[in-house]
Amino acid sequence: MPRAPELNDIVAKYPPGKPRALLHLLQDIQTAQGYLSREAIGAAAQHLGVTETRAFQIATFYKAFHLTPRGRQTLRICTGTSCHIRGAMVLADEVRKTLGAGPGATTADGAFSIELVNCVGACALAPVLLVDGEMLGNVHPGTVARRLKRAGEAP
């Protein structure tokens, strides 16, 4: 199967047969494409002389790598102690109802990728949602839809 020109350009930046470059090559591919496709992982493995199995082990070990396309925005739900006590999981359920996707998924329209994260250090604002790093504090189930709509309209 022919590879996308952009993928070829990224892979070509690395010397062939150098397995130690795998992590960096995967990072560069994800930066350019937004996620690591099966094709991209295979191309990286072949170029660097490692098995596809090894490349998939690396790609799935690190939480920063994504094997499916990501949403245009990332929604993170804080599950630290303060947020948990003040209803983080209720917020997660409300996000699922509002967006039609829950933690670990991307909405059907590709607008949001949703993640649960550990404490974000804003305990006084619990419960907290982060939309592309912008903190939304004191979020309550009844305000989720409005707050996400507003965040989605931000430039």
Task: Summarize pLDDT for 125-136 with one digit per residue, the tens.
Answer: 999 999 998 999
Residues spanned by the domain of 149: 73-153
> Tell me, what CATH number does 48's domain have?
1.10.10.1590
Amino acid 151: pLDDT: 74
- 32 and 93, same structural domain? no
Task: Summarize pLDDT for 39-60 with one digit per residue, the tens.
Answer: 999 999 999 999 999 999 999 9
- 78 and 52, same structural domain? no
pTM (predicted TM-score): 0.75
Amino acid 146: pLDDT: 86
Q: Which of 11, 12, 143, 151 is nearest to 87 (CA)?
A: 143
Say how far apart CA 79 and CA 119 lie, in whole Å: 6
Percentages helix, strand, coil for the chain (3-state, rounded to 5) are 50, 10, 40
6 has a pLDDT exceeding 70: yes
Top-confidence residue, 142 or 50: 50
